Amino acid sequence: MHNIMSDNIVEIDNLSFGFKGRLLHKGINMVFPRGKVVAIMGGSGSGKTTLLRLIGGQLKPNIGEVRVDGEVVHKQSIDGLYQLRRKMGMLFQFGALFTDLSVFENVAFPIREHTNLPESMVRDFVMLKLNAVGLRGAQSLMPTELSGGMARRVALARAVALDPQIIMYDEPFAGLDPISMGVVCNLIRSLNDALGATTIVVTHDVHETFSFVDYVYFVSGGVVVAEGTPDELRKSDMPFVHQFVHGEADGPVPFHYPAPDYKKEMLRGHDA
């Protein structure tokens, strides 16, 4: 790492991971400094979500390691892993709210599971978190009664219920209208700063993301192809970054899936 960021809460070191012999990641190095909001960007299917699962210890790397707060994730026992995960909060793509629990109970869930606080204090905590995401009024609704943006915000309140040191977001903008998107952007930034946490955002929404993150990693083909602050990347003349940032259809990432020559294939159909 060439930046001078000594105090990193998450470090990914020469990480390779894949299913059934097909490698998804081929030697990834990343660091996530304390207090910063860092985005991991890349096309669909580039293994961004898998990276979050590797950090959370739900998957084990084939080679290399992930260190969270100095501890190697995949070498932890179950108890150690659970201890480590209590430092993390994760927002899943569509919120992953527990459908059989109300909004209040969803946010209260981690608090009830991990503490023995009296009911009145649980209530105070839940109200605090729900207020932070602006949904105190929705506490008695069920998840099915929420819009996509509201569900995302409730899930966010749940993810930060125990004041984690690391907050991870898996595609927080997917399927949101522009207003909700802006709301979520502001929340990610403000929650990070209010909690003094470190935020990792996995996304492919360039413009929203560039407006509030501190640092960006571009992942493609299983490696980090570019990294830097949003300003640096906007000015970058690397073809991939340029294509991605400006949303061009063709470029280093081709429009066509690899196929035989178009003309030849069409002619063959007529011969038969």
Q: Which residues bind another protein (CB under 8 A)?
A: 53, 56, 58, 81-83, 85-86, 88-90, 92-94, 96-99, 109-110, 113-114, 155, 158
Q: How far is the CB of 186 from another protein (least distance, A)?
A: 23
Residue from 37, 10, 34, 6 nearest 169 by CA:
37
**Using CA atoms, how far apart are residues 130 and 203, in angstroms rounded to an integer?**
24
Q: Which is nearer to another protein, 90 or 216 (CB)?
A: 90
Q: Which is nearer to another protein, 19 or 82 (CB)?
A: 82
Residue from 97, 80, 85 nearest 141 by CA:
97
Q: Which is nearer to another protein, 7 or 79 (CB)?
A: 79
- The answer to whether the beta carbons of residues 222 and 25 sit under 8 Å apart is yes
Q: How far is the CB of 73 from another protein (least distance, A)?
A: 12
Contacts of 128 (CB under 8 A, 6+ apart): none
**Which residue, chain included where needed, has tokens 């209530």?**
123
Residue type (1 letter), 106: N
DSSP H helical segments within the chain, as ranges? 48-55, 78-85, 103-114, 119-132, 148-159, 178-195, 206-210, 230-235, 239-246, 262-271
Q: Which is nearer to another protein, 118 or 260 (CB)?
A: 118
Q: Which is nearer to another protein, 91 or 245 (CB)?
A: 91
Q: Cα angle vertex 265, ends 263, 268, to 5°?
A: 110
Contacts of 205 (CB under 8 A, 6+ apart): 173, 181
Q: Which is nearer to another protein, 174 or 223 (CB)?
A: 174
Q: How far is the CB of 219 from another protein (least distance, A)?
A: 21
Residue from 251, 247, 210 nearest 228 by CA:
210
Q: Cα angle vertex 184, ends 136, 90, to 5°?
A: 85
Q: How far is the CB of 114 from another protein (least distance, A)?
A: 7
Q: How far is the CB of 68 from another protein (least distance, A)?
A: 12
Q: How far is the CB of 56 from another protein (least distance, A)?
A: 5
Residue type (1 letter), 266: M
Q: Which is nearer to another protein, 158 or 204 (CB)?
A: 158
Q: In sequence order, what are the beta bridge partners of 103? A: none
**Using CA atoms, how far apart are residues 194 and 106, in angstroms rounded to an integer?**
22
Q: How far is the CB of 90 from another protein (least distance, A)?
A: 4
Q: How far is the CB of 266 from another protein (least distance, A)?
A: 33
Q: Which is nearer to another protein, 35 or 80 (CB)?
A: 80
